[in-house]
Amino acid sequence: MANGFDPSPGDPIIENDLNYITETVCIITDKVYSHCQQRECFPEITVEINKKDPPKSITFKEGFIVEGSLIVTDIPNRPNFKRVRFTIRIPFEITTECGATIEGFLPDIFKDIVLFIPDSRDEFDFRIVIETSSKLLGEITVVDCIATFAVGVFIIVKVVGRVQLLIPAFGFCPEPPACEEFSPGDICDTFDYEPFPDFFPPQFEDLYPNGL
């Protein structure tokens, strides 16, 4: 950059860097108007499995609001706040020792909460967005043909609206670095730099320089 300041994406901004702001720009982006966190715990989830092919691992997919379950209503005598009800569903996938997969869902999570949603024109659209982080608690146990496990779920609920924001800018992003080309490499390249091994067993004085 002409002003001598060349930040890269991800670099922290310190107070002195603000002197290099070149302009203010308008952007269209999603703004979080309010958010809250909750957690749910399922101490016992059961899944039927093949007794000869036990589970090896489990992964959780991103939770989502079940279509048609979202209901937003006014709260009497409380302007700018809404009662928000919806159902969260979280998929999971079990991988067995033989590589098979078993797909399923955690029990539905029903939410009935109050969120700040300011009054706005009819054409402005607020969206309810969720993020989930699910964690296996303990180990998966198997008795007969039933796998049992416990899961803890962290949930963030957000009220999001698309707006135009005025923000400071440092100008356009710097030129990116060159892409790295994929190359499988030659296995002998690594071997060429390996240290040469000792060919002969150590002698007594090598192992016990001060004697026994």
* For range 142-170, the mean pLDDT: 91
Confidence (pLDDT) at 145 = 86
Q: pTM for the whole thing?
A: 0.74
Whether 64 contacts 43, CB under 8 Å: no
* For range 166-178, the mean pLDDT: 80
> pLDDT tens for residues 45-100?
999 988 788 888 999 999 999 999 999 999 999 999 999 999 999 999 999 888 88
Whether 21 contacts 169, CB under 8 Å: yes
Residues in the chain: 212
Confidence (pLDDT) at 82 = 93
Under the banding of pLDDT at 50, 70 and 90, the label for residue 2 is very low
Whether 55 contacts 63, CB under 8 Å: no
d(CA 94, CA 191): 39
d(CA 147, CA 139): 10
* For range 14-29, the mean pLDDT: 74
Tell me the two tokens of residue 52. 């000869």
Confidence (pLDDT) at 4 = 53
**Which percentage of the chain shows pLDDT scores above 70?**
89
